[in-house]
Amino acid sequence: MFIEMSNFQILHADSHSEARLGLLTTAHGEVETPVFMPVATAGAVKGITPQQLQKTGSELVLANTYHLLLRPGVDTVEKLGGLHKFMAWDGPILTDSGGYQVFSLSPLTKIDDDGVEFASHVDGAKIYLNAEIATEIQNRLGADIITCLDQCTPFPIDTPQLQKAVDRTILWAKRAKEAHTNPNQLLFAIAQGGINLELRTYCTSELVKTGYDGYAIGGLSVGEGHENMIKTVTHTTQLLPQDKPRYLMGVGTPADIIAAVKAGVDMFDCVLPTRNGRNAFAFAGNGPLRLRNNVHINDARPIEADCDCYCCRNFSRAALRHFFNSGEMLGPILVSLHNLTFYQRLMVRIRQAIKRNEFAEWAKRFDY
Amino acid sequence: MFIEMSNFQILHADSHSEARLGLLTTAHGEVETPVFMPVATAGAVKGITPQQLQKTGSELVLANTYHLLLRPGVDTVEKLGGLHKFMAWDGPILTDSGGYQVFSLSPLTKIDDDGVEFASHVDGAKIYLNAEIATEIQNRLGADIITCLDQCTPFPIDTPQLQKAVDRTILWAKRAKEAHTNPNQLLFAIAQGGINLELRTYCTSELVKTGYDGYAIGGLSVGEGHENMIKTVTHTTQLLPQDKPRYLMGVGTPADIIAAVKAGVDMFDCVLPTRNGRNAFAFAGNGPLRLRNNVHINDARPIEADCDCYCCRNFSRAALRHFFNSGEMLGPILVSLHNLTFYQRLMVRIRQAIKRNEFAEWAKRFDY
């Protein structure tokens, strides 16, 4: 398949903020941005079939290279015809670089300028990853958007360490670009630098000099707090080219997303809708519901009266409470479905507000 | 809603066996028999939404009075508009009597001729159940088919104890019939008697004298083995009126079901498709698959090539194996869906074979 050079088009830029309505073109279809990507960690969004996922309004899905590398392994995914077929998801897929998981999930991580050796959190097997290997793995998995291996840093971190991680991230991104040869896959670089704005400037500018199909902002949502995060994001997006998509990794709450869209971010991923869904926490316009609470015991109302998801059209809060209290899988499934629908509806409203050139005003009224 | 006196019609009786094709009419629609009921223990078929359940070909669903009584309680189900609304299942529902669970799940069971006191396996709360209370509970839950409280016996059991359980079961069934006043709900009696054919004769004949909308055969599939079970079933069905539906409780494997249909049984329920599904055991025409097995590691084939279920149309054995090995909920969900579809397809084939007057011959060829 031929992908034209411009895989991203700004359809409308908000006059009163940095928010943009965009169109991202991938080998598996077009996606309007700002877009929220549900997380299919090991090739499955937890508890949700691809068919149900599609009905939540989800179009672009994230899968984790690290998890797929460990299980079932790249050979298996490739032999089975690639990630789309394996996951039964015919829409666009993005794979992350593995960097975040290597540093957050693995014991025994050994890193130098070439790459990183880590122990699988599943069976302790030693695995080596560098820029070229991470790229090749993602080439073989076959997602539509792949990402350069980065060194993701924790929060807080001292400046020399952060500087070293930034240097490696820039170097690895260059090598990843050289290693990447598949024109059907967009390659995103990941900017690091913690909440150090000087290092963010350095990292981002260097990546932009090399040039990528899109730019991810990594190393945030790791404990730095909403204010620090938004400050860093606002600083970073200003350094990024207007005509490339910007992806804020692992973010976040509705309030985080709205603030980041205002700062010019186009793409998001987060486990919150599904993780919270499994824990009986339902997102709702009038404030979230904790469905195990006794207050719902005889409540015939759905989570949200005006929600058209399968859960809200069919199940009362009382029934959901009962499913959670009885350990029925249907509770986690239904509330995950609702939460994903809630998030995708939020993204629709964000896009509509940008289209109407009212985003900044709308965002103020939005009470999340 | 008006239910005519004859809620069951024999559409075709097989010439070479006791198998019958029937039409069971309930307040929530008609169901062709032989029918298999998936088990929605606490108001949910584990891991499966009602929408997905319908697509497996399931029409009539069983829910457990005992579980619903403990959680969420009858008051809640009633306040929320009854079991159909609570479960979001608009098709027919059958509730069992609670007898089986009282004797298998509860510690501290105290029984006399009036009824049974037991401790909730959830919180230890003492609960009293007798024929009238069990009927009233089921009246209020609002299923389409309800069952008389019975004393379910374990296997093996000594004859005096079995005799006493049979006497109580007959007595309680009489009282249940007197207590039952809702003409929209069919009332089934449950025949007990273990594998003692004399006591089966006695229990069954007494119940038939009193007269019910249908007859369940209880106290089997509790460890007596296939041969004993089928011998008892064959003996019992001969004592039952031709024009009433016959329901073999808690059965069973495909081989059990086929043998029981041959003996004239019309209705079945069993947790096997879902419980096995959760344990990576997939039913298949060429023999079951254990999906955690290494042999499936790169197997691109679906569980069954000719199965039209969502799982088989979209997922390879390799992907299913991966989901189970990674602890992804999607594994249990998808294989439960397949297994239910497999069971319902088996029932379709059974009904077609009876219609063609070829059931006995077909059953011999059926290699389960």
Q: What angle do CA B341, B81, B272 make, to 5 degrees?
A: 25
DSSP class of residue A295?
Answer: G
| Euclidean distance between CA atoms B34 and B351, whole angstroms | 7
Residue A321 near chain B (CB below 8 Å): yes
| Euclidean distance between CA atoms A300 and B78, whole angstroms | 11
DSSP class of residue B328?
Answer: -
User: What part of B 71-90 touches A (C-beta under 8 Å)?
Assistant: 71-72, 75-76, 79-81, 85-88
Beta-carbon contacts below 8 Å between A and B = 120
Q: What is the pLDDT of residues B343-367, one digit of tens each?
A: 999 999 999 999 999 999 999 987 6
B368 pLDDT above the threshold of 60: no
Give the pLDDT score at A3.
Answer: 47
Average pLDDT (A30-57) is 98
Q: Where in chain A does DSSP place strands (E)?
A: 8-13, 20-26, 29-33, 35-37, 39-40, 61-63, 93-95, 110-111, 115-119, 126-130, 145-147, 186-191, 214-217, 246-248, 267-269, 281-282, 289-290
CA distance A316 to chain B (A): 7
| B71, B75, B298: residue with CB nearest A326 | B71
Give the pLDDT score at B109.
Answer: 87
Q: What is the pLDDT of residues B138-172, one digit of tens each?
A: 999 999 999 999 999 999 999 999 999 999 999 99
CB B141 within 8 A of CB B133: no
Model confidence at B6, pLDDT cuts 50, 70, 90, reads confident
| Euclidean distance between CA atoms A217 and A232, whole angstroms | 9
**A160: cis peptide before it, omega within 30°?**
no
| A220-229, A330-339, B3-12: segment of lowest average pLDDT | B3-12
Question: Across chain A, what does the average pLDDT equal?
Answer: 96
3-state secondary structure B199-251: HHHHHHHHHHHHCCCEEEECCCCCCCCHHHHHHHHHHHHCCCCCCCCEEECCC
Contact assignment for A86 to B316 by CB distance below 8 Å: yes
Average pLDDT (A59-76) is 97
Residue A296 near chain B (CB below 8 Å): no
Using a pLDDT cut of 70, give the percent of chain B over it: 98
Q: Where in chain B does DSSP place strands (E)?
A: 8-13, 20-26, 29-33, 35-37, 39-40, 61-63, 93-95, 110-111, 115-119, 126-130, 145-147, 186-191, 214-217, 246-248, 267-269, 281-282, 289-290
Q: What is the pLDDT of residues A288-299, one digit of tens each?
A: 999 999 999 999
Q: What is the pLDDT of residues B73-124, one digit of tens each?
A: 999 999 999 999 999 999 999 999 988 998 888 777 899 999 999 999 899 9
Most A CBs within 10 Å, among B298, B323, B338, to test the A interface? B298
| B71, B300, B334: residue with CB nearest A80 | B300
Average pLDDT (A194-214) is 98
Residue B330 near chain A (CB below 8 Å): yes
Average pLDDT (B187-212) is 98
Average pLDDT (A106-132) is 92
Give the pLDDT score at A250.
Answer: 96
Most A CBs within 10 Å, among B39, B75, B80, B337, to test the A interface? B80
Give the pLDDT score at B367.
Answer: 60
Q: Tell me, what's the ipTM? A: 0.96
Residue B301 near chain A (CB below 8 Å): no
Residue A305 near chain B (CB below 8 Å): no
Phi, psi for residue B112 in degrees, rounded to 5: -140, -170
Using a pLDDT cut of 90, give the percent of chain A over it: 93
Give the pLDDT score at A105.
Answer: 83
DSSP class of residue A268?
Answer: E
Which of B226, B244, B239, B152 lies closest to B198, judged by CA? Answer: B239
Q: What is the pLDDT of residues A158-193, one digit of tens each?
A: 999 999 999 999 999 999 999 999 999 999 999 999
| Euclidean distance between CA atoms B297 and A83, whole angstroms | 15
Contact assignment for B326 to A88 by CB distance below 8 Å: no
Contact assignment for B71 to A332 by CB distance below 8 Å: no
* Residue tagged 């494997």 (tokens): B253
> What residue type is assigned to position B108 of the chain?
L
| B48, B72, B297: residue with CB nearest A76 | B297
| B86, B326, B330: residue with CB nearest A319 | B86
Give the pLDDT score at B1.
Answer: 45
Most A CBs within 10 Å, among B49, B67, B75, to test the A interface? B49
> What residue type is assigned to position B353 of the chain?
A
Q: Where in A86-181 does DSSP place strands (E)?
A: 93-95, 110-111, 115-119, 126-130, 145-147
Model confidence at B3, pLDDT cuts 50, 70, 90, reads very low
Phi, psi for residue A38 in degrees, rounded to 5: -65, 155
Residue B318 near chain A (CB below 8 Å): yes
Give the pLDDT score at A99.
Answer: 87
Contact assignment for B72 to A325 by CB distance below 8 Å: yes
DSSP class of residue A309?
Answer: S
Contact assignment for B322 to A72 by CB distance below 8 Å: yes
**A156: cis peptide before it, omega within 30°?**
yes
Q: In terms of DSSP bridges, do strands A246-248 and A214-217 run parallel, antiparallel, or are they unpaired? A: parallel
Contact assignment for B49 to A79 by CB distance below 8 Å: no
Contact assignment for B67 to A326 by CB distance below 8 Å: yes
**B332: cis peptide before it, omega within 30°?**
no
Residues in A touching B300 (Cβ below 8 Å):
79-81
Which of B276, B251, B263 lies closest to B46, judged by CA? Answer: B276
Could you give the residue numbers annotated as active site of B?
96, 269
